[in-house]
Amino acid sequence: MGGGNGRSTLLVFTRAPQRVVSLIPSMTDTLVELGVGGSLVGVTDYCRLPAELDGQVRRVGGTRTADASAIQSLLPDIVMANQEENEKPLVEALEADGMSVWVTFPRSVRESLDVLWQVIDLFRIPRSAPRLQVLEATLDWTMRAAGETRRPRVFCPIWHERTPDGEPWWMTFNAGAYAHDVLWVCGGENAFATRERQYPLEADLGLRPAEGAAGRDTRYPRVGAAEIIAARPEVILLPDEPFHFGEADERQLRTALEDTPAAKANRIHRVDGTLVTWHGTRLGKALAELPALLQAI
């Protein structure tokens, strides 16, 4: 399971896949949006389907707990997977059973668009090309507009827990993650762009020396209130997935981070998490909604 866009270049089809299992909620959403949702025969428990498909497509488990035998029984032409969301043993087991698996791994908006073009080629849907051309043009316009103004510093947590001692911490992302690039193209500057994750948790929170990453993913650091305050975010976005930041979480965060410019200016916003973390056609909605929240004062 390599880097970049995954291993899409290894798959060759002489016709559009007719039976598809998607293990990626964002890819499921993309296939539906591009008009080929009818090819879906299996999706994860977290995938969102329109009413006309829900109940007709089999749920095969979570993104990390999908049932390989259930997927096999659906006789898919292709299984859509993602290096970040799906477990490597599952992908290897599916391939060992003779299934074709497309493993994507876009880590930037540009790479996400490249995957979209590959979807159009794979499913033989040139009618969708104008839609992607419009998306490309919208991206270009949005980036030009963002480049003409000062970018506010943004903190966007994607998970929240407490230490055994009860101290709150939040997981965020650095420049290596897709979400970072979404913030950038929409006009924001990730407050933790250069912050790398340390292991174990106590080291990440500055409570003990780090053991070293040893090849582990360092793109998602966990930070405490003091570090966030020191980063001086001017805007804080609270997504509703993968962690659902609700009203109570927002109140807690406002209290903990009341000394940040974002809290003082009342620029803490709960947002649709798919706009930040889902690659694919959802980018169009992100370009339409996020820039207004990230404008500098």
The answer to whether residues 238 and 271 touch, using CB atoms and an 8 Å cutoff, is yes
Provide CB contacts within 8 A for 25, sequence distance 6+: 44, 46, 47, 48, 63, 274, 278
Helical packing angle, 283-294 and 178-185, nearest 10°: 60
Cα three-residue angle 166-180-136, rounded to 5 degrees: 150
Q: Are the beta carbons of 213 and 241 closer than 8 angstroms?
A: no
Residue 234, phi-psi category: left (phi > 0), alpha (psi -120 to 50), beta (remainder): alpha
CB–CB of 152/231 below 8 Å?
no
Q: What is the pLDDT of residue 3?
A: 38
Q: In what order do the strands lie in the sheet with 20-22?
A: 58-59, 40-43, 20-22, 78-82, 101-104
pLDDT tens profile 131-179: 999 999 999 999 999 888 899 999 999 999 999 999 999 999 999 999 9
> Binning pLDDT at 50, 70 and 90, where does residue 9 land?
very low
Question: pLDDT digit string (tens) for 188-244?
Answer: 999 999 999 999 999 999 988 988 878 899 999 999 999 999 999 999 999 999 999
What does the alpha-carbon distance between residue 294 and residue 138 come to, in Å, rounded to a whole number?
17
- Sign of dihedral through CA atoms 88, 3, 201, 64? negative
Q: What angle do CA 271, 171, 161 make, to 5 degrees?
A: 95
Instruction: Give percent of the chain above pLDDT 70.
Output: 96
Q: What are phi and psi of 87, to 5 degrees?
A: -75, 140
Percentage with pLDDT > 90 across the chain: 90
- Reference 129, options 14, 20, 34; nearest CA is 34
Q: Could you give the residue ranges of the DSSP H alpha helices within the chain?
A: 25-33, 68-73, 88-96, 109-122, 129-147, 178-185, 201-204, 225-231, 247-256, 261-264, 274-277, 283-294
Residue 264, Cβ neighbours under 10 Å: how many? 11
Q: Which domains does the chain possess?
A: 8-105 (3.40.50.1980), 153-294 (3.40.50.1980)
For residues 55-76, give the mean pLDDT: 96
Q: How many CA atoms lie within 13 A of 15 on its CB side?
A: 4
Which whole number is the average pLDDT over 122-134? 96
Tokens matching residue 133: 């051309």
